[in-house]
Structure 1
Amino acid sequence: MMQIRFLFTFFALLMLVVLGAKEADADCLSGRYRGPCAVWDNETCRRVCREEGRGRVSGHCSSRLQCWCEGC
Structure 2
Amino acid sequence: MVQIKFLFALLAVMTIVLMEANTVSARDCLSGTFGGACWAWSGEKCRRLCIEEGHVSGHCSGGMKCWCEGC
- Whether TM exceeds 0.5 here: the answer is yes
Structure with the larger helix share: 1
Per the TM alignment, residue 24 of structure 1 is displaced from its structure 2 partner at its CA by 4.0
1:67 corresponds to: 66
1:3 corresponds to: none
Q: Which amino acid counterpart does residue 67 of structure 2 have in structure 1?
A: W
| Residues matched between the structures, number | 56
TM-score computed with the length of structure 1 as normaliser: 0.66
Overall identity of the aligned pairs, in %: 52
Per the TM alignment, residue 65 of structure 1 is displaced from its structure 2 partner at its CA by 0.6
Contact 2:24 2:61 in 1 (8 A): no
Once residues 23 and 39 of structure 1 are traced to their aligned partners in structure 2, the CA distance between those partners, rounded to angstroms, is: 16
2:56 corresponds to: 57
Gaps of 5+ in 1: 1-11
1:43 corresponds to: 44
Larger Rg: 1
> Greater RCO between the two (CA within 8 Å, min separation 6)?
2
Per the TM alignment, residue 43 of structure 1 is displaced from its structure 2 partner at its CA by 0.4
Gaps of 5+ in 2: 1-14
Say which SS state the counterpart of residue 23 (structure 1) adopts: coil
Runs (4+) off by over 6 Å: none
Q: Which amino acid counterpart does residue 59 of structure 2 have in structure 1?
A: H
Once residues 40 and 24 of structure 1 are traced to their aligned partners in structure 2, the CA distance between those partners, rounded to angstroms, is: 22
